[in-house]
Structure 1
Amino acid sequence: MRSLEGVRGISSGSGSASEDGAVRLPDDAPVTPGVAAPPPVPDDDAPVSPDYHGAPTTSDGAPAAGSPAPPQDAEAQAATPGGAAPGAGAQLRIEEERQVDEEPPADAVDDSSPAGDTVPESEVPVEREPGFVVGGEPEPEPVVAEEPEPDLEPVPAPVVPAESELVPPPVADLEPPAAEEPAWPVSWAPEPGVDAPVWPQPPAPVPTTELTPRPVPTPRPAAAGGPEPPPVPVDSRLAPVPRPTRASRRTGATPAVPPARRGAGRAAAASAERPGRRRGRVLLAALVAVVVLAVAAVAAITFLGDRSDPTAAEPVPDAVLPDLGEPTPVLAALSTAALVPDPAALAAVLTPLLSDPALGAGLSAQVVDVATGEVLFAQDARDPSTPASTAKLLTALATLTTVDPASTLSTTVVAGATPGEVVLVGGGDPTLSTTAPSVAYPGAATVDDLAAQVQAQLGGAPVTRVVVDSSLFSGPLTAPGWGPDDAPSTYAAPVTATAVDGARVDPGSSQRSGAPGADAGQALATALGAPDAAVVLGTAPAGAATLATVESAPVERLVEQALTASDNLLAESLARHVAIARGLPATFAGAAQAITSAVADAGLDTTGLTLFDGSGLSQQDLVPARLLVDVVRAASDGTVPDAAGLLSGLPVAGYDGTLAEREGDGDGIPGAVRAKTGTLLAVNDLAGTVLTADGRLLAFAVLADGAAGSLSTTETALDDVAAALAGCGCR
């Protein structure tokens, strides 16, 4: 008796299973050559090799066509002469091996060996479960041998066609002719020995939405000697899949391709017609939409009627509209019934505040009721004092009364004396901006606008030279009384007729330039696309053709900007325009004279007035506090036409301009203090209007041209005076 321990899949049923799980065969048991053992019924607990399950064979012992070869490890193949498959007997599969470290039984043999000798343990292919490690692990439970199974007729495995045979035919062949291959079988000839199946009647066609296959492009033929083109992908839903039949399983023949499914031909035809049909559907849908909209429009007109006809509106009986009365103005007029502060009570409040040591000894002040002109408080009000930037109030009044407040300042570009040369002619507008919009001056003209006009006039001709003409202004670039460090600085620059961005070195920067004209010329050259063009100072040729012109914001807006930001260069430019309008030289002296004359022409007493510039930067300027109050009152009560722009330009305490960070209204009405500041070395001034707690409008001016305290302490002392006026009933 030969023992096959742990071996399953014998070809005969004459063996017996021993208690130790080994299957033993009689010594004289024959082995049928070429006949594979039937596959055993797998035990639920027995491990099954995932690699090999037996190969079907033909009657002569050869493996069936298309069946996989049994697994064979390299060492077993090397021990076989010529590398042939071991054994002509039954193909035995090693299913499992006891996972022990002891030697295998001596009677364990491999019947697949040619001589039937015992195969050494190292040459026996072993199949282990995943994760199995030899040595050091507990012995698994013994496997109970299965009952021998009866002989079964081997069933050959279905022949799987090669991959190339599964490639579907071209799309054009997917729809067979209806006469040759009908969509439903109408006749069938059974094979010998096979019962003919009863075909069911075809179901009634159900209308369904057929899938239109994506059109497959015709592959481009390969060039001579070149690689073959890749196969054309075909929608797998249209590809016929061969299915093994009973006859093909018996004979091993390749199953025939089933007929094309119903509707495949129509889908292919629809694919060819798809673009045209889609366009037709789109046109039809558009036509339907137009018709629907037209019908809706007609229905709406019919239902609503002609609303343009006033008679079509239905009258509402007894309709009564509420009496809204006169609308309240946004800026209500001052009440004439507001109480006027008592001069004695007011003096009792102001005198201690004006005695603050920070204000110094040379202080002058005055407070006047705007409505009546009554002087409520005065302290050395007729003494000339250094006005600093409060002198801009005089310049503003002179500008608004001399120059049309709605007029603008022009900047032009004319043709130069030679080809490629242009001349920038300054018009005294320092707000001309290199950015759009301007950073510092709302509504300002831009250099880009100038350049665009010039390029349009030149028709693409290159610019090689830019001449800057600032001849509108003349005389010194700085005024008497200016310090050597005043221009250029963060608050002033040399006064010229040509400048950009308020003569700032960069838009938004506080530092001013020492050469405003040259900077403006360079800005124009850059905007013209010629940053390397030469920029020189000069004059425009007589009668030169104008290439471009831009306009500033209205003069009234320029006055507001000069007062709110205390812009010295803008104030000086406006003063020069007052001089030009009055026929005086556009110089510091001419501007000072023009301002004095304009203030006098407005009906104000100019006694004690001495000016050397239009900005108040000169320390030689002298203005009595009384005159500053007169200017503010004239703009407030309307006695001077067109002077309202002066009030709108005054900074509001705690809100904007140079008073944005100062709380001058104290406990009074928010925004009650509107005043112009003035600051020089040892000079701090404040002049403007204040609305009292009772609603009375007052004009005031406090000039401390001998301030002894620091800037912050002096400003605080002045703010206390303004706050006292705002919160005072003073009766």
Structure 2
Amino acid sequence: MGAIAARPGEESDGGAPEVSTDEAAEAVAPPAEVVEPAAPGPAADDAGEAEAGPSEADRAAAQAAADLAAVKQWAAERAAAERAAAEAAAEAAAAQAAAEDAELERARAEQAAADLAAVREWAAQRAAAEQAAEEQAAADRAAAEEQAATDRAAAEAARAEADRAAAEQAEAEQRAAEQVAADRAAAERAAQQEEQEQQEAAERAQRQLEQQEAAATAQRAAAQQAAERADVQRAQEEWAAGRHSAVRAPVGDEQRPERPRPTPRARGASAAPATGRRRAAEPPPDAGTAPRPAGRRRRTALVAALLALVLVVAAGVLVTLRLTDRSGSTVAADAEQVPDAVLPELSDPGPVLTALGTDAPLPDPTALAGVLSPLLAAPALGGGLSAQVVDVATGQVLFDRDAADPSTPASTAKLLTGLAVLTTLDPTDTLSTSVVAGSSPGQVVLVGGGDPTLSTTDPSTDYPGAATVADLAAQVTQALGGQPVTGVVVDNSLFTGPLTASGWGADDAPSSYAAPVTATAVDGARVAPGESQRSGSPGTDAGRALAAALGAPDVPVDLGQAPAGARTLGTVESAPVDRLVEEALNASDNLLAESLGRQVALARGLPASFDGAADAITAALTDAGLDTTGLDLHDASGLSQDDRVPAHLLVDVVRAAADGSADHADGLLSGLPVAGYDGTLAERVVAGGQAGPGSVRAKTGTLLGTNDLAGTVLTADGRLLAFAVMADGTVGSLTAGEGSLDVVADALAGCGCR
């Protein structure tokens, strides 16, 4: 029992598992595995006693050996079972692992298959998408080609329509030109006829005057003959008296008192000159008879000659008076003096144009609306139209259609700029352009003062009274004293901000009507004097023009700034600003208007930019007492599509200039184009219209889809009205919109409307 049994799962040296005593005891504990020895019966006792059988100790040892053998057997069986179980467990674990590996592989395979299926599905979808995209692209290309074909067809149709419209416009313009030529020819014929009639009247008056003078001469000659006959009669009497006293007195000159001189007459009349001494009367051959006829004829001829001389002298005095200026002497240096002539008093001539009468009847608003409303409904004017008509003298509103609604002003905005300039600046002010010394020897700096009218020709072909580059260059050459020019710098720093305004189109600057706004330019930034196309680099062009005028056309021309305190080499001045305002309005010069707007900004301490000019113009109108509600400016010329101005403000500006309530603003009216005569209205006249010559004076405004007209009109009854018509939704051709506005203005001028 002292042997140590092996642990389950472990092997002894002999290969069998060893089991401990306690374990063995535990192993044999179950009754099922140990067979209890049978209790000794009587037969056994008898045998033991007979044979003197084994002792109790032997039996216990045998039992123990049997138990040990049983335990060993059980342990061996248990070990075998455990080994079998372990092997089974290992096999099961291996099988489980194999199963798990197989499941994992299966899962991986399924996942791979699923991924492959997903990839294949994605690839299929991608291929389908690409195919759809290709099909869509092909459809888009086809649609684009179809649209392009449609656009080309539309463009060709539009071009054809434009060509047709241009042809119609050209034809209309030709007809208008022919009509204008016919009107001018008729006017010339009328003027010639009137001149001829005046000449004939003058000739008749001259003949009447000559007849009157001949009659007066005949009367004077008759009076002279009567006087001569009286003289002869007296001479005869004296001769007779002298014959009786001849024996008492020696024959000699007779002392007689002189005949008094005739009283001088007014200019144009004449009298026979007094001789102071007469010839002694010869004794007639027969006392009491008349003198010889030959003597009377000679004396009559002498009197007539003297009378003619006096008339010539009087006519010479009259001509001399007419040719003499008022400030100098009234007698020409070589004029023949006529001491006895009595000249009439001369007074200042009366005005050629008199003021409008105050008694002209005022149009009736209801009648006026009846005339204008159908005309304002013209299809070419489209929708969104606003208008107002005001009597200048009284300020009474005679017609109003949405006049408070802001509309696109186009170039009628120049009316606002013009009034701001004339009321902010002195009308006699000028714009200066200077040249100063540069930072290196021979370098000169052209300093722009905002005068775009500086001319490269002398005189200017575009701006009357403009300063010239030649004059400026002559001053610079003299100041340099022979020093060669090595370079030209152009200083545009007076103006700030962008060179073009918001609301300007990409093709507006440069174009035939606008250019980038710089402080320095020549010829209105035109590419050449007299041409309409403007340049995209006005400052550089001005620098090159100065270099050429200085005889150094090849020197470098750069943009920069003048050195501080630089010596001035030359300065020129523009025409007065009131003349510049007239030019900007009459020709609708956008660059000139923008430059003038910046001058208003500078005078008000604001930046010389588009925004500064817009703010300054608005402030100037407010200071002038005008209502600027709804006014929104982005430039000074009206070229911006973003500008908004109510029609009543345009009318208020025109009326303020017309009635004198705005100081120094008369230049605004004198700058307005006259219909059928000059400016942008030169070719705009209604054939066979009602308006009289010069009765419509207005500023035009034209942008794409916008046609405006604002100014003054003189009615058929002589009443002066201010008006504005703004149509910023016009349709059709440009001439259709302009023609519709011209008809409105013509009807307004020809309407008594009472």
- Asked whether the two chains share a fold, i.e. TM above 0.5, the reply is yes
**C-alpha offsets along residues 354-400 of structure 1, whole Å, 9 cap, x if unaligned?**
00010011000000000000111111111000000000000000000
- Structure 1 residue 639 corresponds to structure 2 residue 664: no
Q: Which residue in the other structure is 1:701 paired with?
A: 724
Q: Which residue in the other structure is 1:519 paired with?
A: 541
Structure 1 pair 664/652, CA: closer, same or farther in 2 (3 Å)? farther
Q: Which residue in the other structure is 2:378 paired with?
A: 356
Measured on the aligned residues, the alpha-carbon RMSD in Å equals: 1.8
What are the residue-to-residue correspondences of 1:160-239 with 2, within 5 Å?
Answer: none
In structure 2, C-alpha distance between the alignment counterparts of 1:440 and 1:320, rounded to whole Å: 48
Query: CA shift at 1:597, angstroms?
Result: 0.2
Query: CA shift at 1:314, angstroms?
Result: 3.0
Structure 1 pair 725/495, CA: closer, same or farther in 2 (3 Å)? same
Q: Which residue in the other structure is 1:685 paired with?
A: 708
In structure 2, C-alpha distance between the alignment counterparts of 1:439 and 1:388, rounded to whole Å: 26
Equivalent residue in structure 2 for 1:538, among 532, 557, 560 = 560
- Structure 1 residue 719 corresponds to structure 2 residue 729: no
Q: Which residue in the other structure is 2:615 paired with?
A: 593
CA contact (8 A) 1:307 1:313 kept: no
Q: Which residue in the other structure is 2:694 paired with?
A: 671
In structure 2, C-alpha distance between the alignment counterparts of 1:320 and 1:530, rounded to whole Å: 64
In structure 2, C-alpha distance between the alignment counterparts of 1:668 and 1:419, rounded to whole Å: 64
Which amino acid counterpart does residue 679 of structure 1 have in structure 2? T
In structure 1, C-alpha distance between the alignment counterparts of 2:354 and 2:451, rounded to whole Å: 35
Q: Which residue in the other structure is 1:549 paired with?
A: 571
Q: Which residue in the other structure is 1:377 paired with?
A: 399
Which amino acid counterpart does residue 423 of structure 2 have in structure 1? T
Structure 1 pair 340/664, CA: closer, same or farther in 2 (3 Å)? farther
In structure 2, C-alpha distance between the alignment counterparts of 1:454 and 1:427, rounded to whole Å: 17
Q: Which residue in the other structure is 2:157 paired with?
A: none
CA contact (8 A) 1:424 1:466 kept: yes
Q: Which residue in the other structure is 2:474 paired with?
A: 452
Q: Which has the larger radius of gyration?
A: 2
Which amino acid counterpart does residue 647 of structure 2 have in structure 1? A
Which amino acid counterpart does residue 415 of structure 1 have in structure 2? A
In structure 2, C-alpha distance between the alignment counterparts of 1:611 and 1:461, rounded to whole Å: 48
In structure 2, C-alpha distance between the alignment counterparts of 1:307 and 1:724, rounded to whole Å: 54
What are the residue-to-residue correspondences of 1:499-510 with 2, within 5 Å?
Answer: 499-510=521-532
CA contact (8 A) 1:653 1:664 kept: no
In structure 2, C-alpha distance between the alignment counterparts of 1:702 and 1:674, rounded to whole Å: 13
In structure 2, C-alpha distance between the alignment counterparts of 1:668 and 1:542, rounded to whole Å: 59
Q: Which residue in the other structure is 1:314 paired with?
A: 339
CA contact (8 A) 1:358 1:709 kept: yes
Query: CA shift at 1:325, angstroms?
Result: 7.8
In structure 1, C-alpha distance between the alignment counterparts of 2:564 and 2:710, rounded to whole Å: 47
Q: Which residue in the other structure is 2:588 paired with?
A: 566
In structure 2, C-alpha distance between the alignment counterparts of 1:326 and 1:697, rounded to whole Å: 28
Structure 1 pair 541/664, CA: closer, same or farther in 2 (3 Å)? farther
What are the residue-to-residue correspondences of 1:329-478 with 2, within 5 Å?
Answer: 329-478=351-500
CA contact (8 A) 1:664 1:722 kept: no
In structure 2, C-alpha distance between the alignment counterparts of 1:325 and 1:497, rounded to whole Å: 50
- Structure 1 residue 576 corresponds to structure 2 residue 598: yes
Q: Which residue in the other structure is 1:178 paired with?
A: none
In structure 2, C-alpha distance between the alignment counterparts of 1:639 and 1:670, rounded to whole Å: 27
Structure 1 pair 521/374, CA: closer, same or farther in 2 (3 Å)? same
Q: Which has the higher helix share?
A: 2
Which amino acid counterpart does residue 603 of structure 1 have in structure 2? G
Query: CA shift at 1:307, angstroms?
Result: 10
Counterpart of 2:713 in 1: which secondary structure? Answer: strand
Counterpart of 1:684 in 2: which secondary structure? Answer: strand
CA contact (8 A) 1:338 1:696 kept: yes
Which amino acid counterpart does residue 409 of structure 1 have in structure 2? L
Structure 1 pair 314/555, CA: closer, same or farther in 2 (3 Å)? same
Query: CA shift at 1:667, angstroms?
Result: 2.0
TM-score by length of 1: 0.56
Structure 1 pair 346/446, CA: closer, same or farther in 2 (3 Å)? same
Which amino acid counterpart does residue 450 of structure 1 have in structure 2? L
Counterpart of 1:424 in 2: which secondary structure? Answer: strand
Counterpart of 1:578 in 2: which secondary structure? Answer: helix
In structure 1, C-alpha distance between the alignment counterparts of 2:682 and 2:595, rounded to whole Å: 25
- For structure 1, list consecutive stretches of 5 or more residues without a partner in the other structure: 1-305
- Structure 1 residue 480 corresponds to structure 2 residue 505: no
In structure 2, C-alpha distance between the alignment counterparts of 1:468 and 1:397, rounded to whole Å: 31
In structure 1, C-alpha distance between the alignment counterparts of 2:485 and 2:397, rounded to whole Å: 63
Counterpart of 2:642 in 1: which secondary structure? Answer: coil
Query: CA shift at 1:668, angstroms?
Result: 2.2
In structure 1, C-alpha distance between the alignment counterparts of 2:486 and 2:351, rounded to whole Å: 57
Counterpart of 1:645 in 2: which secondary structure? Answer: helix
Query: CA shift at 1:329, angstroms?
Result: 1.3
TM-score by length of 2: 0.55
Counterpart of 1:522 in 2: which secondary structure? Answer: helix
In structure 2, C-alpha distance between the alignment counterparts of 1:399 and 1:642, rounded to whole Å: 10
Which amino acid counterpart does residue 348 of structure 1 have in structure 2? G
Query: CA shift at 1:420, angstroms?
Result: 1.2
Which amino acid counterpart does residue 729 of structure 1 have in structure 2? G
Query: CA shift at 1:326, angstroms?
Result: 7.3
Structure 1 pair 664/574, CA: closer, same or farther in 2 (3 Å)? farther
CA contact (8 A) 1:564 1:650 kept: yes
CA contact (8 A) 1:576 1:588 kept: yes
Which amino acid counterpart does residue 471 of structure 2 have in structure 1? D
Counterpart of 1:713 in 2: which secondary structure? Answer: helix
- Structure 1 residue 710 corresponds to structure 2 residue 725: no
In structure 2, C-alpha distance between the alignment counterparts of 1:572 and 1:332, rounded to whole Å: 35
Which amino acid counterpart does residue 426 of structure 2 have in structure 1? D
In structure 2, C-alpha distance between the alignment counterparts of 1:403 and 1:544, rounded to whole Å: 28
Structure 1 pair 664/330, CA: closer, same or farther in 2 (3 Å)? farther
Which amino acid counterpart does residue 629 of structure 2 have in structure 1? T
Q: Which residue in the other structure is 2:77 paired with?
A: none
In structure 2, C-alpha distance between the alignment counterparts of 1:373 and 1:567, rounded to whole Å: 30
